[in-house]
Amino acid sequence: MQLPQYSETECDPTQLLRAAEHGDEGAVKLLLERHDIDPNAADTKYGRTPLFWAVEKGHEGVVKLLLQREGIDPNTADTEYGQTPLERAALQGHQKIVKLLLGREDINPNTLGPKSRLTPLGQAAWVGHERVVELLLQREDINPNIPGRKHSIKPLHSAAQRGHIGVVKLLLERKDIDPNTTETEYGETPLMCAAQKGYSRIAELLLEREDIDPNAGDHKHGRTPLWLAADYGYEGIVKLLLKRKDVNPNTADTKYSLTPLGRAAQNGYPEVVKLLLERVDINPNTAEKYGRTPLILAVRRRHAVTVALLLKREDVNPNTADTEYGGTPLWWAAQLGYVRIVKSLLERKDLKPDIRGPTGQTAREVAASWKHARVVEILSHFKHSHPLPRNPASKPSDRYPGSRGLSRPGCSAQSQKVPPWVQAWIVFVISFFYIALLAIIFVLIFFHPQGDRSRCAG
C-alpha cells in the first residue's frame, strides 16, 4: 500500500490524521516531535482525532505513540457516532488497545459519549468481547450498573439479551452487580430476556444468585420469566424456574389474565404443561380474561395430548364454560368436530354432556347441526349407554337412524338428502345442455355462410 507523502516544513494538521489512519508509525513519530502540531485536531467530516482514527483501524503502535504525547486527550468523542476512543475500541474488540487506554489515569471507563447508546462496558457486553469485559472490570472505578442512553439498557441486560454466557458469568461474579436491573422500554430483567430467548445456561447462572427475583414481571404486560418460557415452550428453563420454591406458577399477565399453564395449553406444549401440573400449588382451573380455562384453550386449539394431560388431574373441572360465549370444553369439541378430544372428555365420570352452549344446543345437537356425524354417534352412545360398534368403517346411518342426513337446527334431514338416481339425472341433463351449447357455437363459427366469392374475381 502506498502511503501519503508528508511535508517536513509545513504544519498541516491533516498529515497526522492521515498518518494515524494508515498506521504509519514512522510518520506519526516524526510529526509528534514537532511543537506546532496539535495531536487533538479532528477532521471536519467525522470529528475524529488522530487517536480515534488509530483506534478505529486497530493500529496499536500508533495508539501507543499518541498516548505518550503530552497534551493528548484520550476522551474526545467523534461527531459521527458520538463515541470516545475507549468505547470504539471496546465495541470492536481491540483488546491490546483497550489495555493501553485503561493504563491512562485520565481515562474514564464509565464515559458515555454524546451520541453513544452504551458505556464501554456495555458496548463490549453487547458484542460479547469477554476479554475486553474482563479488562474493564479490573478497573477499580468501573461501574457495571450504568445504564445506556437508549432504554437504559445495562451491561448485564445486554449480555443476557444477546446470549453471551461468558460475559454474563463475568458480570455476575461482581458483588455490586444488580441481577434484577430492568430496561425502560418494556421493563424486562436479564432473567426475562434469557427465558424469552431460550438461553437456559444464562437463566441457570442468574437463578444461582440469592438476590434474584424470579417473579418480576415486565412493565407492559406483567409477564414473568416463567410465563415467557411457557409461552415459547422452553422446557429446560421452565424446569429450572419450577425448582425454585419461591416461583409462583399461577401469576397471570396483565393483558389477558393468562397464567403460564393457560399459555402453554393454548400453544400446545404438552411437556411444559406436564411440568407445570407437577407443582402442588398449581391451579389448573384459573380462567383468563374471557373465562377460558386451560382446558378450554387446549380444546379450541385442537391440542389433544394437552387435553388428555389436563383431564388426568382430578381437580380439573371439565364442565366449566367460558364467559365470552358460554361454551363448555365438550360443547366446543363437538361444535368443531374434534373426535379424539370428545372421546377424552367422555372418559371423565363427572362430565355433564347435556349442558347447553351459546346457541342453546347441547353438545350432541351442535355436532348434528355442523354435520359431525362421528361426534354425534359417540355422544349418542354416551347418552343412551349403547356399546360402541366394533366396525368404525360402517356408515353412521347403519347403526343409528337418528344420525342419517345431519342438518342444522330448523332444517329437515329428508329435505336435504337427495337420492342418488336424482343426482345422476341432474348431472346428465346439465351435461347434455352444455354439450349442445358447445355444438351450436362450433357450427356458428366454422360453418357461417361466406357468400359468392366469384363476384370479386377479375
Least confident of 67-81, 156-170, 397-411: 397-411
Q: Name the helix (H) or strand (E) containing 132.
A: helix 130-137
Provide φ and ψ at 141, rounded to 5°.
-95, 10
What are all long-range contacts of 66-72, with beta carbons under 8 Å and residues at least 24 apart? 66/20, 66/28, 66/32, 66/39, 67/100, 67/101, 67/103, 67/104, 69/32, 69/39, 71/39, 71/40, 72/39, 72/40
Higher pLDDT, 298 or 411: 298
Higher pLDDT, 73 or 455: 73
Instruction: State mean pLDDT over 10-21.
Output: 82
Q: Quick one: what percent of the chain has pLDDT higher than 70?
A: 86
Cell for 457? 374475381
**pLDDT-derived band at 150, boundaries 50, 70, 90:** confident
Residues 6+ apart with CB under 8 A from 274: 309
pLDDT at 142: 95
**pLDDT-derived band at 448, boundaries 50, 70, 90:** low
Instruction: State mean pLDDT over 382-387.
Output: 50
**pLDDT-derived band at 386, boundaries 50, 70, 90:** very low
Cell for 366? 351442535
Q: Is the pLDDT of residue 397 over 90?
A: no
Residues 6+ apart with CB under 8 A from 368: 376, 403, 406, 407
Distance CA(163)–CA(201), nearest Å, equals 9
pLDDT at 455: 34
Instruction: State mean pLDDT over 159-169.
Output: 97
Per DSSP, the residues of 215-264 read TPPPTTT---HHHHHHHHT-HHHHHHHHTSTT--TTPPPTTT---HHHHH
Higher pLDDT, 59 or 148: 59
pLDDT at 392: 40
Q: Kindly report the CA angle at 298 between 292 and 303, in degrees rounded to 5?
A: 165
Tell which residue, 85, 32, 33, has the closest CA to residue 59: 85
Instruction: State mean pLDDT over 265-292.
Output: 97
Q: What is the pLDDT of residues 216-247, one digit of tens each?
A: 999 999 999 999 999 999 999 999 999 999 99
Cα–Cα separations (whole angstroms), residue 325 to 286, 322, 331, 356, 382: 17, 6, 11, 11, 25
Q: Is the pLDDT of residue 280 over 70?
A: yes
Least confident of 39-48, 238-247, 304-313, 424-433: 424-433
**pTM for this predicted structure:** 0.77
Higher pLDDT, 57 or 428: 57
Please state, rounded to an integer, the average pLDDT across all residues of the chain: 87
Provide φ and ψ at 271, rounded to 5°.
-65, -40
Instruction: State mean pLDDT over 104-111.
Output: 91
pLDDT at 185: 82
Distance CA(311)–CA(270), nearest Å, equals 12
Residue 307 and residue 298 in contact, taking contact as beta carbons nearer than 8 Å? yes
Q: Is the pLDDT of residue 414 over 70?
A: no
**pLDDT-derived band at 405, boundaries 50, 70, 90:** very low
Instruction: State mean pLDDT over 443-455.
Output: 55
**pLDDT-derived band at 443, boundaries 50, 70, 90:** confident
pLDDT at 240: 98
Distance CA(188)–CA(211), nearest Å, equals 16
Buried b (16+ CB within 10 A) or exposed e, 35-51: eebebbebbeeeebbbb
Instruction: State mean pLDDT over 326-354.
Output: 96
Distance CA(428)–CA(430), nearest Å, equals 6
Least confident of 107-121, 166-180, 414-428: 414-428
Instruction: State mean pLDDT over 172-184.
Output: 92
Instruction: State mean pLDDT over 52-72.
Output: 96
Provide φ and ψ at 99, rounded to 5°.
-65, -40
pLDDT at 117: 86
Q: What is the pLDDT of residues 67-103, one digit of tens each?
A: 999 999 999 999 988 899 999 999 999 999 999 999 9
pLDDT at 347: 95
Q: What is the pLDDT of residues 186-227, one digit of tens each?
A: 889 999 999 999 999 999 999 999 999 999 999 999 999 999
Buried b (16+ CB within 10 A) or exposed e, 217-228: bbeeebbbbbbb
Instruction: State mean pLDDT over 370-376.
Output: 96
Cell for 200? 437456559
- CA count, 13 A, side-chain hemisphere, 213: 11
Buried b (16+ CB within 10 A) or exposed e, 240-253: bbbeeeebbbbebb
Instruction: State mean pLDDT over 354-365.
Output: 94
